Amino acid sequence: MWYLCGKHKLRGRPRPERCFHVSLYGLGDYAELPRAAVATIDYAVSTVTMPPFTVAFDRVTNFGRGPRRTLVLVGGDGIAGLQLFQLELVTALRKIGFAPRREPPYNPHLTLMYYDGEIADETVQEIRWTVREFVLVRSQYGQGRHLPLARWPLG
């Protein structure tokens, strides 16, 4: 990340590692997710069975326009497991009424920074890891905090 900032003279600050995550699905804007909702989600998620899988990102690109852009990691073939898992998850959530019938296309990414500047899509050294669990988090918008509410292992 720091290499890209220097190479492209990007103005902005990389996000702290503690904020790195790949969103699967947004459940909505809640001040506090009701405990009963977490229990219902837990039931739905327990029906999703998928073994651990590998995720690999190998490109950076921008989201947005103007002075407040988002620099993100994206991937090609390395995101297939993530896409399959997200589809399974949304299908389970739809059965309990947490997901609408039509979803916008899922675009897996990892946000690296918000910045002022411009960078063209660029191939980067692959960043790869094995997904062994997923977490329901409460994002505190604008504060860079993600509070875990529940965890589920894969497999």
CA atoms of 147 and 68, how far apart (whole Å): 25
Residues with Cβ < 8 Å from 62, sequence gap 6 or more?
A: 69, 70, 71, 72, 118, 119
Q: State the DSSP code for 32.
A: S
* Domains of the chain: residue spans and CATH: 2-153 (3.90.1140.10)
Whether pLDDT at 142 is above 70: no
Whether pLDDT at 141 is above 70: no
Whether pLDDT at 47 is above 70: yes
Q: pTM of the predicted model, to two decimals?
A: 0.84
Highest mean pLDDT among 11-15, 49-53, 111-115, 141-145: 49-53
Residues with Cβ < 8 Å from 147, sequence gap 6 or more?
A: 137, 138, 140
Q: What Cα–Cα distance (Å) separates residue 50 from each residue in 53, 86, 140?
A: 8, 11, 29
Whether pLDDT at 14 is above 70: yes
Query: For residue 89, what are its two tokens?
Result: 């998850």
Name the residue type at position 116: D
Query: For residue 25, what are its two tokens?
Result: 């699905």
